[in-house]
Amino acid sequence: MIISIASGKGGTGKTTIAVSLALSINGGVQFLDCDAEEPNAHIFLKPVIKETKKVVIPVPEIDEKKCTYCGRCREVCAYNAIAVMKGTDGKKGSILVFSNLCHGCGSCSYFCPEGAIKEVNKEIGEIEIGSSTTLTRSNVGPVQFVHGRLNIGEAMAPPIIRQIKRHINSTRTVIIDAPPGTSCPVVETVKKSDFCVLVTEPTPFGLNDLTLAVEVLRKLKVPFGVVINRSDLGDEKTDQYCRKENIPILMRIPFKKEIAAAYSKGEPIVRAFPEYTKDFRELFNKIRNGKFG
Ligand code: SF4
Ligand code: SF4
């Protein structure tokens, strides 16, 4: 079963909840941290990394001896990653590739009528594979761990996320920590999940971003429920919204200064407060059994 943990906004406690869930499940667990722009689950899980793989995407390289500056490549590029200036008054044209915007889709080389585009691999980041044994879990072995990291200055997280997800071990319960927000990296992360836990907080900002995340999950047809973190702060509007939209509230975690302090030391909730383990197990059972009452 693949369970992704997402949140419409950052700072809701998504990662500590994802890690605590992973550490509470009886049975084999694999943890994927797909927040390639800012991976931080490793701070809690402290995995031993056994393998590192570079992630590359194919970007166009132009042979200006063959290029006629016809502009076809610019027309087909949906990401504005190519600029072409036709030559005038006998002057040569010019062509520029903005490789940071390139998604490596291959359209430009496919449609170039002159065969002037060659694809070359560009490294955009890496993924690391290992396992975590530092935190003792009852009845279970190590948590298999995979995360990825985008190189500084790169903007394309989805290829890294795809590479991380290629390592999904379907014999285990897979917990995926998604990036915050509702943009392409989130879609790439949560699609094909069996269930998505949306972590929110009961504030106007939290509710606004929750409604956006709900729209995305409904479009993706991924079943989901909500965990309200710092549930005793803020207002009632998140509860009212969930009731109106028929969204199950799976768990509530009240604010505790000690949880925040543990977080700042890289300690997951269930490590600092072992009594929460049973609540996270209950959360998992609700998701597995599809019973949210
Ligand atoms: S499609 Fe090919 S020939 Fe036309 S501008 Fe692009 S690279 Fe040059
Ligand atoms: S590979 Fe795709 S995204 Fe990249 S420049 Fe070519 S058309 Fe644009």
Task: Tell me the pLDDT tens digit for each residue of 154-193.
Answer: 888 999 999 999 999 999 999 999 999 888 999 999 999 9
Cβ of residue 95 lying under 6 Å from some atom of ligand 2: no
Query: What are the pocket residues of ligand 1 if the criterion is a CB atom closer than 6 Å to any ligand atom?
Result: 62, 67-73, 84, 95, 112, 114, 116-117
What does the pLDDT look like over 9-25, one tens digit per residue?
A: 788 889 999 999 999 98
Residue with tokens 């590029």: 77
What does the pLDDT look like over 92-150, one tens digit per residue?
A: 889 999 998 999 999 999 999 999 999 999 999 999 999 998 665 555 678 999 999 99
pTM of this structure = 0.89
The ligand 1 atom at the shortest distance from the C-alpha of residue 62 is 7
Nearest in space to 140 (alpha carbons), one of 30, 267, 221, 51: 30
- pLDDT reported for residue 123: 95
Residue 264 has pLDDT above 90, yes or no: no
Q: Nearest ligand to the C-alpha of residue 76?
A: 2
Distance CA 282, CA 17 (A): 13
What does the pLDDT look like over 14-62, one tens digit per residue?
A: 999 999 999 998 889 999 999 999 999 999 999 999 999 999 999 999 9
Mean pLDDT for 282-290 is: 93
- pLDDT reported for residue 139: 54
Rg for the chain, CA atoms, rounded: 22
Q: Ligand 2, atom 8: nearest CA belongs to which residue?
A: 77
- pLDDT reported for residue 134: 66
What does the pLDDT look like over 204-263, one tens digit per residue?
A: 999 999 999 999 999 999 999 999 998 888 789 999 999 999 999 999 998 888 888 888
Distance CA 290, CA 279 (A): 16
- Dig out the tokens for 89 from the structure: 């008054």
Rounded to the nearest angstrom, the distance between the alpha carbon of 39 and the centre of ligand 1 is 38
Residue 293 has pLDDT above 80, yes or no: no
The ligand 2 atom at the shortest distance from the C-alpha of residue 107 is 7
